[in-house]
Amino acid sequence: MRKKIVAGNWKMNLNKLDAVELFKSLESSVYPPDVEVIIAPPSIYLDSFSNASNLKIASQDVSQNSNGAYTGEFSSEMLFSINLRFAIVGHSERRVFHNESDEMIFNKVKSLLNNGLTPIFCCGESLDDRNNGIQFDVVNSQLSNILNNLSSSDLEKLIIAYEPVWAIGTGLTAEPSDAQAMHSYIRNTIANKFTTKTSEQISILYGGSCKPANSKELFSMKDIDGGLIGGASLDSNSFLAIVNSF
């Protein structure tokens, strides 16, 4: 049985007081025992939340380097040392605003795995890609480094998040059947390269304007194992409703 996961990506939102209030409310909530709940607060707050017991804490990013003269960055080893075990990598906002290449993202994945953390690897096509009908090719190429260079035992440690760029923060959600088609494509691509057993073990999350009004339908799809939630994760009631949507 694959893990059901709901992860909240707070992005660059909330001052410390508001972040602590939201954290406390989520930390004291009751969750279905079969759902893993992860939050990714801004990195400046990670250390103060890393003692959470009811929630898993993720970083929103990590450096591809292990240490040294990289002003403003932090490493996988540092995240591990403050008890973090998850980090998002390859988010489209990092790919677009920080020019992150597939190679850089792969280095981040490797660094996280080498240091005992679980990468939440994001992929997804732009609106132009979808309008040109090349969404599967684009996602395939974003996946190629991890599929060509990781062993099956490393790949099985990953969480994959499919986030169509045109659905992020826009209010436009992928139709559940379109999201399912991409999730199934990702799983089949993994099965063809490795084995069905490996592909069946990897949780694939959907992200992009996921909210209480659409999460149930999305999560009912065969290959959608949960969500990576942006805006709706900033409100504890909405986030809880999504966690309870399976």
156 in active site: no
Considering only 16, 24, 116, 169, the residue that binds ligand 13P (CB under 6 A) is 169
Residues of span 2-31 touching ligand 13P by CB under 6 A: 9
Strands 56-59 and 35-40 turn out to be parallel
Catalytic residue among 36, 91, 93, 125: 91
Considering only 5, 104, 113, 229, the residue that binds ligand 13P (CB under 6 A) is 229
Catalytic residue among 36, 100, 163, 183: 163
In the bound complex, what is the minimum distance in angstroms from residue 67's beta carbon to ligand 13P?
27
Three-state DSSP class for residue 115: coil
Query: Rg for the chain (alpha carbons), in Å?
Result: 17
Whether the CB-CB separation of 222 and 180 falls below 8 Å is answered with: yes
Rounded CA-CA distance 92/70 in Å is 22
Rounded CA-CA distance 129/105 in Å is 20
Considering only 41, 90, 119, 230, the residue that binds ligand 13P (CB under 6 A) is 230
Residues of span 98-157 touching ligand 13P by CB under 6 A: none
Rounded CA-CA distance 42/58 in Å is 9
- Residues of this chain that interact with ligand 13P (CB under 6 A) are 9, 91, 163, 168-169, 207-210, 228-232
Residues labelled as active-site residues: 91, 163
